[in-house]
Amino acid sequence: MVEGLSHVTFVVRDLDRMEEILTSVLDARKVYDSGEGTFSLSRERFFDIGGVWVAVMEGEALPARSYNHVAFKMAPGEYEERLARIRALGLDLREGRGRVAGEGRSIYFHDDDNHLFELHDGTLEERLRRYGAG
């Protein structure tokens, strides 16, 4: 039986830069750093982001950008603050898709390795209600 999400892994060229992004934008807390050691495929760091284990491993960037993404929950009143944090790091903001009222607000941004992140202030229940499915 699947119990839930175990972890999410991102492969990045620069561990320090990704740490800066995760800690500055997503309030990540670093819980492990392999240093020069490797227990997996390459050097790695582990973070806790709102109770989600996020692993970051050193390697090659994704070859292209896509809409595949990971969305993290933010509080409804944090939109402007989070947007300012993203801009302060010079990250590329991606225009969000059109939204209907009541499904929450989102901020999309790419890291330096073509990963797309979303910060979203809505819930699944709100979206289903808005779509008339729940």
Query: Catalytic positions, please?
Result: 44
CA 95 to chain centroid, in Å, comes to 16
Distance in Å from the first CA to the final CA of the chain? 25
**Residue corresponding to tokens 């901020």:** 107
User: Whose CA is closest to 111, among 77, 69, 76?
Assistant: 69
| Cβ 43 vs Cβ 57: under 8 Å | yes
The C-alpha atoms of residue 33 and residue 57 are separated, in whole angstroms, by 10
CA 24 to chain centroid, in Å, comes to 12
| Cβ 132 vs Cβ 30: under 8 Å | no
